[in-house]
Chains A and B, each alone.
Chain A
Amino acid sequence: MTRRVPRLAPFLPWLLAMLSLVMAPMAFSQSLAVQRLKIAGTVSSVDWEAYRSRFVEDSGRVVDTANGNISHSEGQGYGLLLALAASDRRSFEQIWSFTFTELLIRDDGLAVWKWDPGAKPRVTDRNNATDGDLLIAYALAKAGEVWQEPRYTTAAQKIARAIGKNTLGRSGRSLILLPGASGFGEGDRPDGPVVNLSYWVFETFPIMAALAPEYEWTRVWRDGVLLLQQATAGRVRLPADWLSLQSGLQPKPADGFPPEFGYNSLRIPLYLLRAGMTDLEWLRALKQRWSAENEGVAVVNVVTGQIRERLTDQGYAILHAALACALEGTSVPPALRTFEPSLYYPSTLYLLAKSLLGEKYPQCVSSAAP
């Protein structure tokens, strides 16, 4: 990438746009025809019970234990998804009850994102977080199908429509997913629009398209992949968590956020794998970078390439293992096979990865493997 001479830079956006027009149909003939995940039944009751007992309260609240025990729409979405994966209808209903009564109160039909047990009122930020909304709608739609529960399907559809109506934005010719209904658009901040690539939960888009076909979900998906390709085209090859798209197609780290590939973006490869989009070249590069011989999973400054924090928790390590499994068939190391829950976020990533491995790559986790 160092070969890229600076004077070419102005042509790059154009070039990429042209390329996308040519390449997109090809690329997506593969990845858009995604094998949908079944999800239900892919997490063992032992693993789920370990998770549930630590992070889910009786009220149905999923607790972010590393963040002052607050709750957020993302956590509720993950909780629903994992309860479905564990086929735990009881917990699913419980988590949904909290989500519905405490978070799904916005006028536009989206969920408020932040709920703090120590505050009054408990909702401390009434903006939404679009990934949370996608996860909730996705889990509801899946559960509605599996358990034949029209309440879930109806709720999923309402949220999907609200996402389509309120969080899709434009940047040049791209259709983008705004991280929140307000505060991130072109007119909302000087460097707007600002996006977060880890909010593209790719596996949800086909479901959204079924729930709210009046919106261009396929385009959101495709433009998200393009954006990812652009954002990983730099020297360091990692996207910053928060990207400004102010200058059209050339994403750059957004103002006011550290220019880091951080906890947010760690999820991107997992989402790609879960959506079956394994043929992105960037995933190979990332697998290399994340291997133990190289730098491993870490928070990295995308400008300097410097590591700020190495992440060794099981929930991060399994991300590399899943990449290695999906790309090269490498078996998951024994140390990662047994769930040892620590904090909410890595534990969630662990179960999401394990659910994927169990459903799509059983050979990597089977006891017969070395």
Chain B
Amino acid sequence: MRLVGSAITTAILILGFAAIAQQTGPGGSQPPAGSPPSESPPANGSQSQVDESALRYFASQGDTRRVNAEIARLRALYPNWTPPSDLSQLSAGGAAAAPDPIIERLWNLYREDRIAEVRAAIAERQTSDQNWKPPEELVTALETVEARRRLVNASDSGQWQTVLSVATEAPSLLTCTNVDVLWRVAEAFARTDRPARTRDVYTYLLTNCANPAERLATLQKALTLLPEQQVADLLQFERRAGETPDDFSSIRDELARRRVERASLDSKMTASAEDLAAVERLMRNTNEAGPVLILGWYNYHHGNPARALELFKTGLDRNGGAKAAEGYAMSLRALERLTDAEAFAYEWRERAPENMKIYLDIATALLSQDPPQRLEARVVARIVPVVTAQRFSNGAQALGWYSYNTQQIRTARDWFRTALGWKPEEEPSAYGLALSTQRLNERAAFNAIVAQWRNRSERIADLADGTGPGSGRRPAPDQPRAEMDAAPRAAVPRQVAVERVEVEQPLVRTEEGVRVRQTQARSTLGRSCAMTRNPTNLSGDAALTRGWCLMEINRPLEAVAAFDQAIATGSGRAREEAAYGKSLAYLRKNLTSEAAIAAAEAPQTRSRQVELGASILTQRALAAYRDKRYVETLLALGERARLVPEQNDLLLIRGWSYFNLGRYKDAEQVFRAVQRTGHSEEASIGLNAIQEATDQASQ
């Protein structure tokens, strides 16, 4: 009965012992929990909570034999415990009372942890003697043991509310002799989202309990339940002096290890030199692969693949397994040792999904090298079945480009088709397929892929329209025809005619040249140059390669920047090439004057001068015609005609220019010439228009 009041008070104290612990402060030895009422004030916080109730009872009965047995038992359980000094007084005081055999039996059962039997015996005795009451110490002891059992069972079954309610009702459990109970209560707080309470329990424990092993274990528990900062805060309770000083260095190391581990996977996070040193030390002091791998990843993600490679090698030697192999392969790749990387990763590919992934990535990179390299046949031969088995579309694409660049266009076509089959929405595969079917002149296949993709891919549409790198024949332009049907006035077809002839092959040769160079430069189309980046730190040759690559993925303005860089830094040969490229880039964007200026930036060979000049003048003529500046059109065409022969489509432009200037005789002459070469339809339209115009004029 007398427990009740104090129990409630101490429960409140315990469950709110954040404040208490702070008041007590480190070094305070008095736990706030109430000690069992039968005990004298404790001399030592950690020892006061040993359950001495049985001992005291035997002493009070003057049973020396049992007292000694109990002292031996308690010593075995609690090595630091010393028997209370007041036992002899108890013995003297209690000798008067006649020993009650049942009470002795109850204590014996209690000592043997046969709690249900103690309860049963009490009940039995009370049945025969209504007025009989068990000693209060025994009842308290029983309640405490039962509470501990329920608390432990509840915690083992994850019933955290029960843990906390039992702890509240039995605060006498919350002492340094029951560190396990304190740990469980701390966990219950954590599992019910009260980490601050968890920290309070640990703080209490570290402030009050003396056993160094338990203190260290407390921090180990904290590591699993508390945020790292809170664990770090608990380190302040480390006792550096005294008989049994703490050694929390393993906790410090673990915190350092975790910080480095986090930074090891994030190139934007750096670990402190101190933390790195701690992990280095851990690495040296164990044969475990763990710390080695962490340092390996740290170096890998912080720009030191060479060191990472060494570390992952050590990791492999320490049986770091698949993870070490993954890091080793990735480091080799980062060091651009792709051939070695492929050979190594190949051996490990089956070990884990990550190893397979890195193998496929490395194989893809190997195939897609820039500039392209011929690989050993056996290397390609072993890549193929893996890519196939894994249905890895990037790999199939890379095999496509590899084949394409080694002039195995049919194989390339098949790989692109395969890649597209695996990932139907991959535009680069479709582009590769379009390009290779076009090269192979497989009209139907080409048209099919174009029809499917032209609205989604500008460069595929460009291929089809002949503005792209390929030289394929344009499919019939639907839209202009529709316009013609909708507005059948004489002036409109003229405009339409221009649209249709606009880029009909004036650039064929030059763009063919582009393609050859692009192919030589072996961009991986959207892989190596698609990423926007500043070309100013590239060398002349690299900038040149990038320029051609950008041309291939149809980003001419970025190509201009790359070519500029090549002109600024490259050799004479590179500068000439770059100026040429730059002109073509401008032509692609219909920026003819810029193209002309670019062409003059470096001396060009005669054939290129002709090629570029003709292209520039063609675009100039077409641009002038579009703007209805017919005199300029004729001037440009005239200039061009001095360089290269004028083909039919440009002759038609010339004809319509004469027509629009009212020079019907000249127009008629031109249209008739075109008519003789077989383009009778377009020519007839012109001739009819002249007829109509002259008829009107004569009326």
Contacts and interface: CB of A to CB of B under 8 A. Distances in A.
B230 interface: no
Interface in A64-112: 89-98, 100-102, 104-107, 112
Contacts of A59: 114, 116
B13 interface: no
Contacts of A126: 157-159
Interface string B132-167: 000000000000001001100110111111100000
Interface string B618-643: 00000000000000000000000000
A93 B157 contact: no
Q: Which of B114, B119, B126, B158 has the most CB of A within 10 A?
A: B119
A123 interface: yes
Interface string B106-121: 0000000011110111
Contacts of B115: 97, 101
Q: Which of A58, A59, A93, A102 has the most CB of B within 10 A?
A: A93
A101 B124 contact: no
Nearest to B192: A107
A121 B162 CA distance: 16
Q: Which of A93, A97, A105 has the most CB of B within 10 A?
A: A105
Nearest to A87: B127
Contacts of A102: 149, 153
A60 interface: yes
Contact of B156 (A92, A106, A121): A121
Nearest to B153: A105
Given A112-B157, A121-B156, A101 B146 contact: yes
Given A92-B123, A112-B157, A123-B156, A101 B149 contact: yes
A105 B154 contact: yes
B150 A100 contact: yes
Contact of A94 (B116, B156, B158, B162): B116
B384 interface: no
B334 interface: no
A105 B116 contact: no
Contacts of A89: 123-124, 126-127
Contacts of B161: 107
Nearest to A115: B153
B207 to A, nearest CB: 30
B386 interface: no
A94 B120 CA distance: 5
Given A105-B162, A106-B162, A121-B157, A100 B146 contact: yes
Contact of A90 (B114, B124, B159): B124
A94 B117 contact: yes
B122 interface: yes
A112 B115 CA distance: 20
A97 B160 contact: no
B165 to A, nearest CB: 9
B183 to A, nearest CB: 16
Contacts of A112: 157
Interface string A44-73: 000000000000001110000000000000
Interface in B80-131: 114-117, 119-124, 126-127
Interface residues of B, number: 24
B14 to A, nearest CB: 20
Contacts of A91: 120
Contacts of B158: 126
A31 B419 CA distance: 77
Q: Which of B153, B156, B160, B162 has the most CB of A within 10 A?
A: B153
Q: Which of B123, B146, B150 has the most CB of A within 10 A?
A: B123
Contact of B159 (A60, A98, A106): A106
Contacts of B114: 58-59
A93 B146 contact: no
B123 A93 contact: yes
A104 B150 CA distance: 8
Contacts of A92: 123
A93 B154 contact: no
Contacts, number: 72
A101 B154 CA distance: 9
B150 A60 contact: no
Nearest to A105: B154
A38 to B, nearest CB: 18
B149 A90 contact: no
Contacts of A121: 153, 156-157
Nearest to A93: B123
A98 to B, nearest CB: 6
A102 B145 CA distance: 12
A97 B153 contact: no
Contacts of A90: 120-121, 123-124, 127
Contacts of A93: 116, 119-120, 122-124
Contact of A123 (B117, B123, B146, B157): B157
B464 to A, nearest CB: 54
A91 B123 CA distance: 9
Contact of B116 (A97, A104, A107): A97
A59 B127 CA distance: 20
B159 A107 contact: yes
Contacts of B122: 93
A112 B158 CA distance: 12
Nearest to A91: B120
B642 to A, nearest CB: 86
A123 to B, nearest CB: 5
Interface in B463-486: none
A230 B614 CA distance: 97
A58 B117 contact: yes
A83 to B, nearest CB: 10
Contacts of B159: 105-107, 126
A146 to B, nearest CB: 11
Contact of B153 (A60, A94, A95, A123): A123
B145 to A, nearest CB: 9
B159 to A, nearest CB: 5
B157 A58 contact: no
Contacts of B119: 93-94, 96-97
Nearest to B149: A101
A116 to B, nearest CB: 12
Nearest to A96: B119
A106 B158 CA distance: 9
A343 to B, nearest CB: 23
B150 A101 contact: yes
Contacts of A105: 150, 153-154, 157, 159, 162
A60 B116 contact: yes
Nearest to B123: A93
B586 to A, nearest CB: 68
Nearest to B161: A107
A96 B504 CA distance: 99
A58 B122 CA distance: 14
A114 B595 CA distance: 86
B164 to A, nearest CB: 9
A42 to B, nearest CB: 18
Contacts of A94: 116-117, 119-120
A217 B159 CA distance: 27
A94 B116 CA distance: 5
Nearest to B118: A97
Q: Which of A92, A101, A106, A123 has the most CB of B within 10 A?
A: A101
Given A89-B124, A107-B159, A107-B160, A98 B116 contact: yes
A60 to B, nearest CB: 4
Interface of B: 114-117, 119-124, 126-127, 146, 149-150, 153-154, 156-162
The 7 closest A-B pairs by CB, nearest first: A107-B161, A121-B156, A93-B123, A97-B116, A60-B116, A105-B154, A94-B120
7 contacts: A59-B116, A101-B153, A104-B150, A105-B154, A105-B159, A107-B154, A107-B161
Given A100-B150, A101-B146, A112-B157, 19 more contacts: A59-B114, A59-B116, A60-B120, A89-B124, A93-B124, A94-B119, A97-B115, A97-B116, A97-B119, A101-B115, A101-B149, A101-B150, A105-B154, A105-B157, A105-B159, A107-B162, A121-B153, A123-B153, A123-B157
